[in-house]
Structure 1
Amino acid sequence: MLIAIFAIFFLICISALDWKKSFFFVLVFIVLEGVARKWILPQASNLIYFVKDLVLIGAYIKYFLIERKRIKNHYINFFIYLLAIWSFVQAFNPSLGSYIIGLFGLKTYLLYIPIFWILSDLFSSKIDVYKFLRFYLLLVIPVCLLAVAQFFSPPLSPLNVYSNNASVVAMFGVGKEQIVRVTGSFSYITGFGTYLSASLGLLVPMLTLRQSRVWYCLTIIELLLVLGTSFMTGSRAVVLYEALFLISYVFILSLTHPNQTPRIIKKFILPTIIASVVVPTYFSKSIDLLSKRTISNSAESAGRIWGPFTEAVSGIQYIIQSKQIDSYGTGATHQATSVLRKFLGLPQGDPIPPLEVEPARVAVEIGVIGFISWYLIRISLIISLLLTLRKLRDPFLCQLALSAFLFHLLQITISVIFNPYMGIYYWFFAGFIFLLPELEKREENKNIVSQISPS
């Protein structure tokens, strides 16, 4: 225990030396975390899971306490504070059986929110954003190539494992056609699907930039790999999201910035032609298997679309009947709670009916007040991103805002609290509300200075 405490303290202190480098480390680490958990140190899988959180805590200490940066003002802050206060109260709910479970649950609700405020200080110019995205998206190539190797490997291959050393991995197809649903470098399918969704949102704006031939070709290759391996995950939600994203992207941009539409459509012609030829040709097997899975489970697919709404209503009704305005406490339904109870010998909490989707789980964990505050945050972020999109004039920044808006809008029911990868990307895109207008303002000031300076 003393060694663990020392390691935690040391990691936080190292992370607090440079909050920017620590945050960049987290963005890279979440892509490679599964490699360490599945293949390098599987015996320390549960400890590696917390590395990104400890590094973020160190970055926050440096940013807010040492450098004394202020929280950016925004009306959404009110809902965030409400959620924070109510979640803190529910962390000590006696129904949990132990306050340790509550504190862990509190982490899942609040730890990634400060990304929303610090992002605008992470980049100093539009060029910095472009350079970061250019190099960050290079990770797509090895991660997706690993996924391709997993797809064509047998289920018992060392490539096809989860971080919990489960002997059975998820598959799709029937009989001899059964193929492993790939995870890439991530511990589970959900993390890889989240990464693909976020990567698509960052790749599409990059396609419209004037880049060197090498970087432009790399961007197209990355896009092809993202689209192709999405079918290999066997996830209908990921493929549906990407289809809706691409369609909505062009449609909304034509409405909000019609003067940019012709130029952008020209930029999309070549990647569209290449994708329409390459993806069906080289990823045909995964497309066929996913199509069969979708057709054979059409009733289930419809249920998954409406499930979050119906189960949310059921969850609210259940919590009102059993607890009124109270709840079962933060972390009560988290997938890691049972592991914590077993590892630390914690007492069991009150029994809860099995729940799958996040809206119902939020209602049961933090009650009606917490449920309302959380979804007011999510709706407010969507509205604010749309307003940000409408007021931006720079084409590249405008398209980043559109990607962030669609990322939030099209995944309104997707788990954020119970999916740490989504939590980080969710608040990263939310930070565009502060970042993009600030970058445009800096660009305008730079142009003004260059115009008035003597030649």
Structure 2
Amino acid sequence: MSTTAVSKSSHPAWVWCLGLFYLLVVGDGALRKWFIPSQATPLFVLKDLVLWGGYLTYVWKRDPFELPRPLQSTWVPLLLGAYISVVLLQAANPRQPALIVAAVGLKYHLAFLPLVVLVPALIADISQKTFVRGLWAYALCIHLPIVAIGVYQFSQPPGAWINQYIGSAEQIASVAGNPRVTATFPYIGGFTPYLEFSTFLSISVFLTGFRWNNKGLKILGGGLVAATAVVLPMTGSRSVIFIPAIALGVLLIAMPTRRQWLYLVVAAAFSVFVISSVGGTWAFSGWRALNERVEETEDEEAERRIMNVLKTPIDGLEKAGLFGYGVGTNATPAPRLTTRSDWEGRFPGDRGSLRLVLELGILGWLILVSLKLALLHVSFQAVRASRSSMEFIIAATAFCVLISNIVLPVVFNVVDSALYWGSAGAVLAVWSQQEVRRQKEARQPRARTSTTSM
């Protein structure tokens, strides 16, 4: 890692655009729900414009497809290029109902790919000290306010002004008489991927504190774990519990140290202690409500959703064939942009994975899954090769984000997509720096041998 941080005055414009983009990802829902709902559509598009403005500024005198050089020896550039090519070809699919639908599809599939270029460039100029400061700033200025808003929403009736979605006419979902919280996000579907990411980051920081015996990271990670654990069940979603649990279990197996399971037990015990001692019984209210929902929900519903995900390749091949119906055909806003409300290849259900196969075809879907697997392999190597707290936090968080989205679509969820491609870019930067270090160390013995033989 760089030993010196870039000073504040030297931050280029694209760095500020990247920061503003992520602030809009986690905060534009608040603006669209509570402050300026009449500008909901412009605000929804604003983050795309900010990101692409930063990207164009960055690539003005650079290669627009520039990735860290060590990645040239991996499958990532080839598969990324293949995925982009498939999306562009699917935008011209003759089955497309309208050009505007293809434009929407391009936005959903490609709008956040600049993160794969910008995030590595950002990390290359960040020192470990600056990174830790950034974690504290994120915890105090972003995560804790979001948690506080979620807890306040949960304490209010479903009809309260703070419990609303984009479009106030839509009925607020509730469980056990309490609203399913959304915090600063427009819908539950946007809040849950953020909470999953926060869970991964919190536990990664906490594990790092023990692995490197860093008291500050133990405190920061423990506080993040406890705060996230309070609001996690208030969404009323079981997936936000089970998906992180599975991903973190795989992470613990992937870690090179033998003490990771002890770290997890300590993290869980610390979280329960903090919640019970600081928050009292109200801090467990979300878990009680979620337990009531689980008891009322039939197991067949959960089994059906799991089987639907597992059957995606078979159902996709049957319904979409090899080449699909074109990007955008299953995007949520597409019907509102045309005079038609339905067309061939549109699937109205909640099976996001099948909707993605219908757009890309089974061939395009396989290319995307192959890209995801290549990124996951890179993140696994980065976890194993981590030698600093910064490397491990980035690699472990990204590993969990990537593995939890292997078979799940990210293109239809703005928050999920932003966090996925940002995590991918971050771990590509870490892996590349590790690879440069490994190659340098591999050359050193040869250099010493040559010197000795003279």
Q: TM-score band, normalised by the shorter chain?
A: 0.7 to 0.9
**Structure 1 residue 136 and structure 2 residue 141: aligned?**
no
Q: Once structures 1 and 2 are overlaid, which stretch shifts more, 308-317 or 66-75? A: 66-75
User: Contact between 2:226 and 2:271, CA under 8 Å: does it hold in 1?
Assistant: no
Q: Distance in 2 between matches of 1:369 and 1:37?
A: 37
User: Which whole-Å deviations, capped at 9, do the CAs of 1:295-322 have from their partners, x for residues lacking one?
Assistant: 33211112222221224421221112xx
- Give the secondary structure class of the aligned counterpart of 1:167: coil
The equivalent of 1:305 in structure 2 is 306
**Where do 1:254-273 residues align within 5 Å?**
256-258=256-258, 261=260, 264=263, 268=267, 271-273=270-272
Q: Distance in 2 between matches of 1:391 and 1:216?
A: 21
The equivalent of 1:152 in structure 2 is 155
Compared CA separation, residues 272 and 250, structure 1 to 2 (3 A) = farther
What TM-score, normalized to structure 2? Answer: 0.83
Q: Distance in 2 between matches of 1:440 and 1:356?
A: 40
Aligned residues: 417
- Give the secondary structure class of the aligned counterpart of 2:95: helix
User: Contact between 1:92 and 1:329, CA under 8 Å: does it hold in 2?
Assistant: yes
Compared CA separation, residues 416 and 442, structure 1 to 2 (3 A) = same
User: Contact between 1:308 and 1:357, CA under 8 Å: does it hold in 2?
Assistant: yes
- Amino acid of the structure 2 residue aligned with 1:143: I
- Give the secondary structure class of the aligned counterpart of 1:81: helix
Q: Once structures 1 and 2 are overlaid, which stretch shifts more, 398-407 or 95-104? A: 398-407
Unaligned runs of 5+ in 1: 1-15, 446-455
Q: Once structures 1 and 2 are overlaid, which stretch shifts more, 261-270 or 350-359? A: 261-270
1:128: how far off?
2.8
Q: Distance in 1 between matches of 2:427 and 2:252?
A: 21
Q: Distance in 1 between matches of 2:378 and 2:344?
A: 39
The equivalent of 2:244 in structure 1 is 242
The equivalent of 2:353 in structure 1 is 359
Compared CA separation, residues 234 and 284, structure 1 to 2 (3 A) = same
The equivalent of 2:76 in structure 1 is 76
- Amino acid of the structure 2 residue aligned with 1:65: W
1:359: how far off?
2.2
**Structure 1 residue 338 and structure 2 residue 335: aligned?**
yes
**Structure 1 residue 315 and structure 2 residue 312: aligned?**
no
The equivalent of 2:50 in structure 1 is 55
Q: Distance in 2 between matches of 1:314 and 1:354?
A: 15
Compared CA separation, residues 441 and 280, structure 1 to 2 (3 A) = farther
Compared CA separation, residues 113 and 248, structure 1 to 2 (3 A) = same
1:240: how far off?
1.1
Query: 1:424 is matched with which residue: 418, 425, 428?
Result: 418
Q: Distance in 1 between matches of 2:240 and 2:268?
A: 23
1:187: how far off?
0.2
What TM-score, normalized to structure 1? Answer: 0.83
1:154: how far off?
1.1
The equivalent of 1:20 in structure 2 is 15
- Give the secondary structure class of the aligned counterpart of 2:365: helix
Q: Distance in 1 between matches of 2:253 and 2:341?
A: 53
User: Which whole-Å deviations, capped at 9, do the CAs of 1:30-54 have from their partners, x for residues lacking one?
Assistant: 1111111101110111111111111
Query: 1:252 is matched with which residue: 251, 254, 258?
Result: 254
Compared CA separation, residues 267 and 154, structure 1 to 2 (3 A) = closer
Root mean square deviation, CA, Å: 3.0
Compared CA separation, residues 441 and 96, structure 1 to 2 (3 A) = closer
Q: Distance in 2 between matches of 1:375 and 1:163?
A: 32
The equivalent of 1:220 in structure 2 is 222
- Amino acid of the structure 2 residue aligned with 1:94: P
Q: Distance in 2 between matches of 1:303 and 1:274?
A: 36
Q: Distance in 2 between matches of 1:114 and 1:315?
A: 29
1:347: how far off?
8.6
User: Which whole-Å deviations, capped at 9, do the CAs of 1:314-355 have from their partners, x for residues lacking one?
Assistant: 1221112xxxx33221100111112333xxx57964363424
- Amino acid of the structure 1 residue aligned with 2:117: W
Query: 1:398 is matched with which residue: 362, 386, 392?
Result: 392
User: Which whole-Å deviations, capped at 9, do the CAs of 1:238-290 have from their partners, x for residues lacking one?
Assistant: 0112333444444432xx233x6499569747634525745883333321221
**Where do 1:46-125 residues align within 5 Å?**
46-68=41-63, 70-72=66-68, 73=72, 74-123=74-123, 124=125, 125=127
Query: 1:409 is matched with which residue: 403, 407, 415?
Result: 403
Identity of aligned residues (%): 22
User: Which whole-Å deviations, capped at 9, do the CAs of 1:342-394 have from their partners, x for residues lacking one?
Assistant: xxx57964363424223211211121221111111112111221122222333
- Give the secondary structure class of the aligned counterpart of 1:423: helix
